[in-house]
Amino acid sequence: MDKVSCRSCGTCVLVEKYSDQHTSVQWNKTAQADCTELVGEGPRSHTCGALRASIDEAVAAGAVHVSTRDVDVRTRGRTLA
């Protein structure tokens, strides 16, 4: 996963892209508390327009790469004993 900071408030999350349509965003408690767009929205709201724009810019700049999922997703390519 790649780190992306919101260009609006600086909140940092981890991001993984699997296609143009599929983006996985990993929020932590600090990011949820710091995001100015999520304040007061409750724990179920994980959508921030400014962060979405920041992720799209990071993808366009090549800072976030689109995963091809060529390896087994469950093991992340590791061999199970």
pLDDT in tens, 6-64: 999 899 999 998 888 889 999 888 888 888 887 665 555 557 889 999 999 999 999 99
**Residue 81 reports pLDDT greater than 70:** no
- pLDDT band (50, 70, 90) for residue 67: confident
The ranges assigned to domains in the chain are: 2-61
3-class SS string, the chain = CEEEECCCCCCEEEEEECCCCCEEEECCHHHHHHCCCCCCCCCCCCCCHHHHHHHHHHHHHCCCCECCCCCCCCCCCCCCC
Say if residue 69 is exposed, middle or buried (CB neighbours under 10 Å; 0-12, 13-18, 19+): exposed
Q: What per-residue confidence (pLDDT) applies to 6?
A: 93
Write down the pTM of the prediction: 0.73
> Residue for token digits 């260009």?
7
